[in-house]
Structure 1
Amino acid sequence: MRLFRTLALAAAMLASPALADDQPASVRITYVASPFNVPSIVMREKGYLDEAFAAKGIKVESPEITSGAQQTQAIAAGEIDIASVLGGTSAILAKANGVDLQIIAAYARSPKAYFLMTRGDGPATLADLKGKKVAGPKGTVLNQLLVAALAEQGLTLKDIEYINMDLPTARAALLSGQVDVATLAGANAVAVEKAGGKPLTSGEGLIKPTTVIAARSAFLKEHPDLVEAYFDAHYKALAFMKEHPDEALAIAAKEQKISLEDAKAQMPLYDFTPVMTEDDVANLTADQDFMIEAGMLPKANALDIKVDLIAPMAFETE
């Protein structure tokens, strides 16, 4: 248990009108396994989340919502309480457009894990993207990577045909020849490479993506003890990964349907440290600046990232 986070949540509980008798019958926490979200995979396999909330007599619902935009829409509608893996760009866009959420921790940092992939006979360089069909999930880190890669060549999204697809669909469309390039990560990128494809670029040097854990502001305010229960499970999964790395990788490989060797190759691409730093704030601020420059976010809607978006508890040390 982390002392500073515990004290912060205890203070929030004293300030909150919610009492134990007002606890919900269930909490809704998204489950996102891709691209290679080992803590979430381990947490589910080991039952840590169910265990943490069962102690409070609360059931956990785990909708599998991979799209950042759909997760933030669900938060806005009160349909989920915690988005366990949310792209930093999705959090920024949602908050800037009035969705009442707060970042409560980092999930992962992984610029080397995001790719623009093509087939072996596809475009040879980024400059060849002009006029090509590119598939991938819009409003995500991969969307940002695509914009950044195009900008390096003096191009914009207007210079390509950009088709919104989730990762498995984009991978299938690429391999079947329906599109020229797909924005992919994790096992989907590995599958394309094994099928003879190749990366045009990774995110390294182009983006500094941070995925985060976010909560409905009302849920955080009214049920800080339940947020703490979530973190109990999350940190338990991280501890298991540290103490039993081989078993954790085997669990992740099975869930991702990849070989253990591929899982071992993926693991070094990720930093799963939850505590946020000033570097994370700077990276998210740079992401926002980039989205404004790219026309993805009106300048008038810009946030003070640290003040407006990130809960103080996100910076608490272990």
Structure 2
Amino acid sequence: MRTLATLALALSLVAAPALAADKPDTVRITYVSAPFNVPSIVMREKGYLDEAFAAHGIKVESPEITSGAQQTQAIAAGEIDIASVLGGTSAILARANGVDLKVISAYARSPKAYFLMTRADGPAAIADLKGKKIAGPKGTVLNQLLLAALASQGLTLDDVEYINMDLPTARAALLAGQVDVATLAGNNAVMVEQAGGKVLTGGEGFIKPTNVIAARAKFLEEHPDLVEAYFAAHRKALGFIAEHPQEALEIAAKEQKISVEEAARQMPLYDFAPAMTDADIANLGADQTFMVESGMMPKDNVIDIKADLVAPSAFTIK
């Protein structure tokens, strides 16, 4: 017995350095503030993320990658560990194309926060979009809104000139008269309205977007404690928003470069509850069906949303 105990102790001492070596020195988590990602904005301003990982002796890098496609490409390349705000459509497309990622929670639900915007003298109705120049980020919820709006009038992307641009560039192009319509959200939509532009249509009735938080599947498997560290910071940010709503609005308004009053108008458009629900799964399933029907995704690539994409822990996260 004594020999076995000595052997077990020796093995544990040998194994300990190897386990420690597995712990990364740095965790890479994207920072996405737009369209109106208040939890992320508060988390950064208050230093909650750095604080949570400092307890593990780990530094955090927060690259600002706003494109869903670029975030999933970075996950595929092992360049980021957690995509903090990812459109559901981007997560589905990535997983369908073999990217080994898992949705670890919801981020926000906000159909009322997405818009097709135009200038005061722009198209008056969706039916008027045929032949028009439309700018916005491809492979996103806004891309899906455009497709759904066009489909409601028997139109497709082939009937318009669709130009891939990020949100600030699309807004600038619209206000400069270089395009007829821009797909916008958050402060970019507010700025167009302040400049005299108008909403052609919103997302309600066309889309039921669920933005999510996703992680490299291997990172989730090997470092569940670090994923939990991320959620400790996320929960702390949600708690701050609930306990100090005015200060949270001021922080968000400053980051978004809008007034506190405009921030207050934006806030009710978002549901930031993190636990995934059956309704979220149904919405993501509907998103996938729409992408197949609209030609954004081959039918052969269809995945089982709940089994293939979403981690079981996403339904119990708090």
Matched pairs, number: 301
Q: Which has the larger radius of gyration?
A: 2
Partner Cα separation in structure 2 for residue 193 and residue 152 of structure 1: 24
Partner Cα separation in structure 2 for residue 209 and residue 191 of structure 1: 22
Q: How big is the alpha-carbon RMSD for the aligned residues of Structure 1 and Structure 2?
A: 0.8
- SS across alignment from 1:162: strand
Q: Which residue pairs with 2:312 in the alignment?
A: 312
Displacement of 1:22: 1.6
Aligned: 1:254 with 2:293: no
Could you say if the C-alpha distance between residues 317 and 164 of structure 1 is closer, same or farther in structure 2, counting changes exceeding 3 Å?
Answer: closer
Displacement of 1:89: 0.1
Q: Which residue pairs with 2:47 in the alignment?
A: 47
Partner Cα separation in structure 2 for residue 113 and residue 138 of structure 1: 17
Aligned: 1:72 with 2:91: no
Unmatched tracts of structure 2, length 5 or more: 1-17
The 5 Å alignment of 1:147-166 reads 147-166=147-166
**Alignment check: 8 A CA contact 2:105 2:317 kept:** no
Q: Which residue pairs with 1:216 in the alignment?
A: 216
Q: Which residue pairs with 2:4 in the alignment?
A: none
Q: Which residue pairs with 1:203 in the alignment?
A: 203
Partner Cα separation in structure 2 for residue 271 and residue 212 of structure 1: 12
Q: Which residue pairs with 2:29 in the alignment?
A: 29
**Alignment check: 8 A CA contact 2:109 2:211 kept:** yes
Q: Deviations for 1:160-183, whole angstroms, at most 9, x for unmatched residues?
A: 000000000000000000000000
Runs of 4+ in 1 over 3 A off after TM superposition: 18-21
Partner Cα separation in structure 2 for residue 174 and residue 20 of structure 1: 52
Partner Cα separation in structure 2 for residue 253 and residue 23 of structure 1: 37
Q: Which residue pairs with 1:175 in the alignment?
A: 175
- SS across alignment from 1:231: helix
* TM-score (structure 2 length as normaliser): 0.94
The 5 Å alignment of 1:58-137 reads 58-137=58-137
Q: Which residue pairs with 2:141 in the alignment?
A: 141
* TM-score (structure 1 length as normaliser): 0.94
Q: Which residue pairs with 2:9 in the alignment?
A: none
Displacement of 1:317: 4.9
Unmatched tracts of structure 1, length 5 or more: 1-17
Q: Which residue pairs with 2:193 in the alignment?
A: 193
Partner Cα separation in structure 2 for residue 281 and residue 22 of structure 1: 34
Q: Which residue pairs with 2:272 in the alignment?
A: 272
- SS across alignment from 2:254: helix
Displacement of 1:21: 4.1
Partner Cα separation in structure 1 for residue 244 and residue 229 of structure 2: 22
Identity %: 80
Displacement of 1:195: 0.4
For residue 305 of structure 2, what is the amino acid of its counterpart? Answer: I
Q: Which residue pairs with 2:282 in the alignment?
A: 282
